[in-house]
Structures are given as structure tokens and as C-alpha cells.
Amino acid sequence: MGIHWFILSAVAVLIIQWQLFKRLGMKKVHYSRNFNTTHCFEGDRIEMVEKLANHSMLPLPWLRVESQLHTGLRFDSEFNFDVSQGQFYQNHKSLFSLMGYKQLTRRHTVQCVQRGCYRLTSASLTSGDLFGLHKAWMNVPLQEQLIVYPKPVDRSEIHLPSNSWQGDISVKRWIVEDPFYITGVRDYQQGDPLKAINWNATARAGKLQVHQRDYTADYRLMVVLNVEDHAGMWDTVNDTETIEQGIRYAAGIIQYASEQGLEVGFAANGHDLDVPGRPVHVGTGSGHEHFMATLEQMSRLVIARAVPFDTLLEQMAEELDARCDLLVVSAFMSDKINAVMERIRSEGHGAHWMPIDAAKGAA
């Protein structure tokens, strides 16, 4: 009789614990995951923090947390968790065991090896009873976002064109003609825009006369990035690392220009993460806040062509009014791109090409 009672008691315990875990197992389990910062630079190390709380007297013999993360976030170690890595995404698994009315916090050191906008949207939790008779699954929504800024190349790696603004710097400011300060008229010179012609003075003098403008330190620069990696490209960018280096190079130029007090903007024929099909455009501005906002937009840039680069330049040429220089950061130069740049120059603006190859190895 003793063995029978033992078997019956064991079966009863199995059934009772199975029912308990089935009804109560994950009802009072709370899980959260977040980064210890919301913004950082490419190459920085940050922490990803996991918190698990069991608000029930029922213990958790085991609980597995699974989620997908981008490979741009690299874990320094794999203690208490497992990472299965693919080309673009990695599957992250954490294992927990927790007694009743206890909570646990784990901190993982993560290196941000690539700029981008990383979002934690959900994690799946799987738990079970002591004997593997029951498994419960739950999806936990997450709303965490990490902005990883591109790392600007060092100032020593920036080689501006010899015929550009660096020869006009005075007390760390660009000195150029200001369209609002008119002091008289002068004879027309090759390269003067048609809109600068003073027709009344031309009629009096019998030859073309243009407005004579005074000089000021106010000036604008637009850095324009081409996400196409070769001429004749269709939709797919093959050499993404070259374009990533171009982004770092553009960031370095914008940082340098901002430090000199120059109004600077950014545009690219790639698109924003949340706005597919529309080229990225950040208007000119100055100051630290504008610089950081530009870096954030560069973090959100998707390396996929929204419009051909020459089309983007044509659109920008139509919108240029006051004096502005365009610095084209591109892996190549084509006849179409060069033609638009010549048009921009003929209208009194500057247009210069910076090959991305010049920045390789700078980061």
C-alpha cells in the first residue's frame, strides 16, 4: 500500500503544480529592457539593462527571453545569454530563474559599431513548470529607441578643395558678398548671375551693370551626400561601407563648419527611416543644437536611393536664392552631375566635389 500512496501523491503533486503554473505562471511577471542612454556616437560602449520581477509567490524555475537586435549593436560578452548572429540581425536569448516576490537586474555592455536608429519593439517570454509539463508564452511590447550618431572624421582628415572657402577665412569666419548690402554698381563680370543685373544703371551706362555688394561674415554651406556607389546604379547599393564612410566624412565637414560659425545644412538622395521615397534635407542653420539635429538625421538615413543624385541637385538648384556653396560628397562624378554643378556655378553659387575615396580609412 505504501508504494501506491507514494505514486498517487506524486501524481497529485504533478497535477497540482501543473495547474498552478498553467493558471498563475506568468500573470504577475513583469519584464523591461532599456538602454542607459538614448543617444551616443558610433564606437561608443553603452549598457542594455534587463529587469525581471516576479510579483507572485510562485517561483519561476526557468524563463527564456528572446528578441531580435541589429548587428550594429555588438555584445562584449555572452554570459547568461546566447546570441545567434546573421548578416543584419541577431537573435538574443536570456535565461532567468527567479523565486517568488523577487526581482533581478542584468546589465550587458554593448558596443555601437554602426550609426543608426535602433528600436526595441518587443520581446517574447517563455516559461514552464518544474517538470516540463506546461509551457506559457507571452509577448512584451517595448518602446525603446537608441540613436547612434555617425562618428565625424578627424579634422586632419578633411581636405577641402584649394579653390573653396578656406582661403577666405578671417577670424574663423567666411567672408563673402552679402546680397542684402548693396553699395553701388559695377561692370558685369563673367560668372555674375543674371538676377544681379541693375537694369536702370545698364540703360544709363550703355553696358551691363550689376549691383556692387558689401561683404559680411554670414554665409551658408550645404553638404550634399550621394548614396549611389557607382554611376548607372539602379536601386541597390552594393558598397554600403563606402557610403557609410561618406556619411562620416560629411559629418566631419559639418562639424568643422559649425565650429567656425558657418550656417550649414545637409541633404542626401537616401531617405529617412520613417519616410521612404523622400530625399533627406536639413536646412541651413548654426549652433550646437542644429549640429546635433543634423547628426540625428544622418543617423536615421537609409542607404537606399530615393531619387537619382542629379535629380536631387536640380531640385536644390531651383530652391537656392541667397549665396550658398554646395559641397558634393560622392563616390564618383558623372556628366549629369557635373552639368548641374556647372549650372549652379553659373548662377553665382559655389559647387565643389569631394570624392569619398579621399576619406577612406579616416574613421
Predicted confidence (pLDDT) per residue in 81-91, tens digit: 677 776 778 88
How many Å apart are CA 29 and CA 56, to the nearest integer? 8
Domain range enclosing 185: 177-216
Residues 167 and 314 in one domain: yes
Residues 333 and 285 in one domain: yes
Mean pLDDT of the chain: 83
Q: What CATH number should be reported for the domain holding residue 123?
A: 2.60.40.1510
Residue located via cell numbers 564618383: 332
The answer as to whether 274 is a domain residue is: yes
Residues 300 and 171 in one domain: yes
Query: How many structural domains does the chain have?
Result: 3
Q: Which residues are within 8 A (CB) of 297 and not within 5 positions of it... i.e. 6 or more apart?
A: 266, 272, 280, 282
Looking at per-residue pLDDT, the higher value among 9 and 108 belongs to 108
Q: Span 64-80, mean pLDDT? A: 85
Q: Span 200-208, mean pLDDT? A: 84
Task: Decide if pLDDT at 271 tops 90.
Answer: yes
At 164-184, the pLDDT tens digits run: 454 343 333 434 444 444 556
Residues 276 and 303 in one domain: yes
Residues 93 and 203 in one domain: no
Cβ atoms of 219 and 166 closer than 8 Å: no
Task: Decide if pLDDT at 225 tops 60.
Answer: yes
Looking at per-residue pLDDT, the higher value among 83 and 290 belongs to 290
Select from 271, 276, 269, 174 the least CA-distant residue to 223: 269
In this predicted structure, which of 127-131, 214-218, 284-288 has the lowest mean pLDDT?
A: 214-218
Residues 58 and 131 in one domain: yes
Phi, psi of 265 (to 5 degrees): -135, 175
Residues 165 and 293 in one domain: yes
Looking at per-residue pLDDT, the higher value among 351 and 322 belongs to 351
Looking at per-residue pLDDT, the higher value among 216 and 196 belongs to 196
How many Å apart are CA 153 and CA 42, to the nearest integer? 11
Q: What percent of the chain has pLDDT over 90?
A: 48
Q: Span 17-37, mean pLDDT? A: 78
Residues 208 and 309 in one domain: no
Residues 160 and 140 in one domain: no
Residues 181 and 171 in one domain: no
The answer as to whether 347 is a domain residue is: yes
Residues 115 and 258 in one domain: no
Residues 166 and 313 in one domain: yes
For residue 235, the tally of other CB atoms under 10 A from its CB is 7
How many Å apart are CA 222 and CA 261, to the nearest integer? 14
Pairing of strands 301-302, 209-216: unpaired
Q: Span 194-220, mean pLDDT? A: 73
Give the helix/strand (H/E) hosting 343: helix 335-346
